[in-house]
Structure 1
Amino acid sequence: MNPALHLAHATSDDTTRLARHVNAAYRGDTARQGWTTESDLLDGQRIDEAGVADMLALPGAAMLLALNDKGELLGSFHAQVKGSVVYLGMLAVTPTLQTQGVGKFLLEAAENYGRQHGCTVSKMTVISVRAELIAYYERRGYHLTGATEPFPTDPRYGIPKQPLVLLVLEKALG
């Protein structure tokens, strides 16, 4: 892992750069430079500035940022505490930096965020056809619960190119 990573919490001043960062990590030609692209699954954007602002305003929520020594945004991850569960979502790492420990750094930070707020379970959803991403989380202690959720139909989160469903993964936090 890159020892120069620093953790920060996003504020409302970060909405523009976060929307740009997340969209570059998930969609389009830029996203194809990494292994976690959704470009073949969805058209359109992943999120807009209003969506980022909405996520930042959720009760118990934090958008965790991985920054380098220059303050450049390398990755982000949303965490929201709901009772004893921390819900994680929208892990976004600069495509050219994927496989260099930024995602692992943010996953550990998000789980710690949950622990600090008394959570005993970490929960997330992953698009069912993303086998490589599911395997990534399984290597980090997550397991498929057997539960599914419908993929959002709001086009501001993307337009599916095929039918999609979300699989629920969980991990006990110790």
Structure 2
Amino acid sequence: MLLEHAVEADFPAIIELVNAAYRGHGDVESWNIESGIIEGTRLTDSLLREDLAAKPHAHFLVHRDLWSGAIIGTVWLEPVDEDVWYLGLFTIDPALQKQHLGRGLLSAAEDFAKQRGARTIRMGVLNVRDALIAWYERRGYQRTGKTEPYPYGDNRFGTPLRDDLAFVILEKHF
């Protein structure tokens, strides 16, 4: 699966895709939306630009449909240590999610990071997203036993609808 670095011209399509995949906006809802957990916009133009400016060593990658060129997947990869990389903003177009594209995108993202020295991929998944955690576990990710607090009071990524949120930290070692 071909991954390309996102460019500024991609931002509107990326923002639309991320919001559809995380929050269920659009014609087809994702199987793993955050409905009932967090509401509101997941990504805006200003948030995307802020993250890219604050983390110039990160790689925000897109996967395009081979025929139309439309962005159908995204992944954020960021080196956090000499051999540990963080994976985030992982999305597949909700209309295409039952075609196993997520598996391919995840594998391509892991290969991208491994080629740049990663020996571990780390991510945080909301503790209440059992189906999503199980999906990652089936792909070799393991719970580390660590959690990180949810950033209550920072509604830049949406408004939490629950008061019991935290991020479960998962890792995969190569």
User: Do both share a fold (TM > 0.5)?
Assistant: yes
What is the Cα deviation at residue 29 of structure 1? 4.4
Hey, what does 1:144 align to over in structure 2? 143
> Residues of 2 paired with 1:28 and 1:90: CA distance?
15
Code of the aligned partner of 1:158: G
1:34 aligns with 2:30: yes
Q: What aligned pairs does 1:104-143 form with structure 2 within 5 A after superposition? A: 104-143=103-142
* 8 Å Cα contact 1:42/1:161 also seen in 2: yes
What is the Cα deviation at residue 81 of structure 1? 1.2
1:66 aligns with 2:67: no
* 8 Å Cα contact 1:86/1:111 also seen in 2: no
The answer for unaligned runs of 5 or more in structure 1 is: none
The sequence identity of aligned pairs, in percent, is 39
The normalised TM-score by structure 2 is 0.90
Relative to structure 1, is the Cα distance of residues 31 and 92 closer, same or farther in structure 2, using a 3 angstrom cutoff?
A: farther
Q: What aligned pairs does 1:1-174 form with structure 2 within 5 A after superposition? A: 6-30=2-26, 33-57=29-53, 58-69=55-66, 70-82=68-80, 83-153=82-152, 154-163=154-163, 164-173=165-174
> Residues of 2 paired with 1:76 and 1:100: CA distance?
16
Larger CA deviation: 13-22 vs 135-144 = 13-22
Q: Deviations over 1:30-52 (max 9, x none)?
A: 38622110122111111111221
Q: Deviations over 1:113-165 (max 9, x none)?
A: 21111111100000001010000000110000010011123211011100211
1:46 partner SS = coil
> Residues of 1 paired with 2:63 and 2:56: CA distance?
22
> Residues of 1 paired with 2:116 and 2:50: CA distance?
21
What is the Cα deviation at residue 15 of structure 1? 1.9
Code of the aligned partner of 1:159: T
Code of the aligned partner of 1:108: S
The answer for unaligned runs of 5 or more in structure 2 is: none
Relative to structure 1, is the Cα distance of residues 118 and 54 closer, same or farther in structure 2, using a 3 angstrom cutoff?
A: same
The normalised TM-score by structure 1 is 0.90
When the two chains are superposed, the root-mean-square deviation of aligned CA atoms in Å is 1.7
Q: How many residues are aligned here?
A: 169
